[in-house]
Chain A
Amino acid sequence: MAYRDSPFQELKVPLTWTAGVAAVLALALAVFVFVSDRKDQARVSAQALGHAKVRAGFDGVLAPVSGVLAAPVRWINDGAGSVGDYFFAVSQNRKLKKQVAELQQVAVADVALKNLNRRYEELLKLRTEPPIPMVTGRVVSDTRGPFSNARLIDVGSDSGVKIGNPAMSEQGVVGRVVGVSPNASRLLLLTDPESRTPVLIDRSNARAVLTGDGGPNPRLEYLRGKDTVHNGDRVLTSGDGGLYPRGLPVGVAEQDIRGVWRIRLYSDSGAIDFVRVLVFDDFSQMVDQAKLAEPAMPPLSAADAAKVKAAEVPPPPSAASPAALPGGPPPPAAALAPAAAPRSLPPPTPAKPVAPPAATPASRPAAPGAAARPPTIAQTVAKSPAVKNPAGKPLVKKKPVKVKPGEYRRVHTPDNLPQYDPNRPDGRG
């Protein structure tokens, strides 16, 4: 049938109406995505719909592309910075000389304070926090709108970065990692509307929650007590909840014209080209979420407990038990090695049918007619020569990584990660 003969030839649909219907359908799709994303974030990771994986994949693809596209803009910025340095060299020199003179006094006082602090720690037998390894990453994109504040950095899970790790610039805390792919990570800044950070006021030790609102100065919420904060008070992370280590510098408290306490962030005062991620296991990372999600068993009564105990006494094995017979067939291979044996273990040697000691229940003479009871996995694994480590050597050989002095390494391993030292002002170990 020719086109001109088609019954739809004369059909004319109003353009605006069809576009309107398409817009409504697209809006329904967008609302569905928004609601499913909210639900996805509320679920534990095992039941999540995979939005986090999509985000991580997107970041992994985007990081190198963004780095290339942003390079010309960065070069122009660096060039402008060089011109500024040239013209303001004299004033900068004077300023830096003044700062050096001040810092020399601080350094002298720092030595004395450290010595005293160490002495107190020894006397009080305080358990000090261990140094935290760090990974340095370059910022490849910086989104800074009022509705989201995030940065993409070029180090990821390959370098040991995990979700929840805090990130710092040279001046102070920047935010924390909310998404990780092998080669890139997404940082949620302290200024993001979804960011909540437990902090303390250094002077009064008062606790508060730093709440981002998309602006440059996040506000202090849930601040208790009277006169707990003054203008210019230093604000540090409190470490409450285990999200951040205690004592990381955040900023300075200031009151705005409406009387709301806000923080002028230390990290806002400098360049944002590099950040250091503290490879710090927060509380939520250490907790086994699957274990927590398991339903708790109701407590047993004394009578029930006695019944269970009686039932747990193993019956005597029969004489025909293969494990008890010397020269009998070996037990199944699955029972000799743990199911999830690490790959670094030596290959299992052929299992020999070892007769257990006479004291064990498995070697007792079986009652006539009793069914053979195979050894439990735990018993078998404990006796198996394949998983024993008689020499006491580590199962995984650690390869020492040689780093020349002053060499810059982009790829960190757990052996050569720089350390965060809370006792030093710059945090370097």
Chain B
Amino acid sequence: MARTPSRPLEPWRWLGVPALLVILATVAIDAPIRLFTLALPEPVFPMVLAFGWAIIRPSILGPFLLVLVGLFLDLYCAAPLGLWPISLLAAYGVALIGRTLMVGQETEVMGLYYAASVLAAFACAYGLVAIAGHGQPSLIAILWQFAATLALFPFVLMLRNRFRDADIRFR
């Protein structure tokens, strides 16, 4: 059955399914493999959700789902509990604040704003790890992961284009 714009979009479709896909992608990318003896970069897939959900539509469920996804990431990466929920919410907050500014802007502007959101999240994570680990993480390693996470921007666009006009209430 074809979906019409007037049909309400259930939260599990634009919140639940992308969250599940992100978790699967995170697990798959962490397979213990090397390419020419070099470790593959590890992007932070949930950053797509943190930015995309704020752009598509502000919702009450979104931030709490981000906390759940972040806790999964903490447990999966053996990071301090709470590190990724706080960082993802920082990215979500930055995207939410600038949401109205981005309406009608070009893709490049949105890309820049995505970079700013990811930067906010990584700055948060840097500070929290410095507090928790009593040491400073390597800036080169952070830049490497930052670049890998920026490369996920096409997935943000896909998410936005898929659900932006999916429900008339989102406009």
Chain A residues engaging chain B, CB cutoff 8 angstroms = 15-16, 18-20, 22-23, 25-27, 29-38, 51, 54-55, 58-59, 62, 65-66, 69-70, 73-74, 77, 80, 139-148, 150-151, 178-179, 186, 188, 192-194, 211-216, 269, 271-273
Contacts and interface: CB of A to CB of B under 8 A. Distances in A.
Interface string B22-62: 00100110111111010110101000000000100111111
Given A69-B28, A215-B138, 19 more contacts: A16-B100, A19-B96, A22-B64, A23-B63, A25-B63, A30-B85, A30-B86, A37-B82, A70-B28, A70-B30, A77-B31, A142-B31, A148-B77, A150-B77, A188-B78, A213-B135, A214-B129, A215-B141, A216-B39
A357 B89 CA distance: 77
B80 interface: yes
A34 B137 contact: no
Nearest to A179: B78
A27 B81 CA distance: 13
A95 to B, nearest CB: 14
Nearest to B86: A30
Contacts of A212: 135
Contacts of B132: 34, 38, 194
A19 B63 contact: yes
B93 interface: yes
B77 A272 contact: no
25 contacts: A16-B58, A16-B99, A18-B58, A19-B96, A22-B64, A26-B89, A27-B89, A29-B64, A29-B85, A33-B71, A34-B85, A36-B81, A54-B75, A62-B27, A69-B27, A77-B31, A139-B32, A143-B77, A144-B30, A145-B141, A147-B83, A194-B132, A269-B37, A272-B32, A272-B34
B101 to A, nearest CB: 12
Contacts of A214: 129, 137-138, 141-142
A30 B33 contact: no
A66 B130 CA distance: 29
B118 interface: no
A212 B129 CA distance: 12
B14 interface: no
Nearest to A193: B133
Contacts of B35: 77, 80
Contacts of B129: 147, 193, 214
A23 B54 CA distance: 11
A274 to B, nearest CB: 10
B86 A31 contact: yes
A215 B66 CA distance: 27
Interface residues of B, number: 59
A142 B66 contact: no
B144 interface: yes
Nearest to B137: A214
A27 B84 CA distance: 11
B26 to A, nearest CB: 9
Interface of B: 24, 27-28, 30-35, 37, 39-40, 42, 44, 54, 57-64, 66-67, 70-71, 75-83, 85-86, 89, 92-93, 96, 99-100, 125-126, 128-129, 132-133, 135-138, 140-142, 144-145
Nearest to A57: B75
A20 B34 contact: no
Q: Which of A15, A29, A147 has the most CB of B within 10 A?
A: A147
Contacts of A18: 58, 60
A402 B2 CA distance: 65
Contacts of B54: 19
Q: Which 6 A-B pairs have the closest CB atoms?
A: A34-B82, A19-B58, A215-B138, A70-B31, A146-B141, A30-B85
A213 B32 contact: no
Given A271-B34, A273-B32, A144 B78 contact: no
B138 A146 contact: yes
Contacts of B24: 69
Contacts of A141: 27, 30-32, 76
Contacts of A36: 81
A22 B28 contact: no
A20 B70 CA distance: 18
Given A62-B76, A74-B32, A146 B92 contact: no
Contacts of A146: 137-138, 141-142, 144-145
Contacts of A142: 30-33, 39
Given A26-B64, A65-B27, A273-B32, A145 B42 contact: yes
A74 B58 contact: no
A70 B39 contact: no
A143 B30 contact: yes
B78 A150 contact: yes
Contacts of A20: 58, 93, 96
Contact of B78 (A55, A215, A273): A55
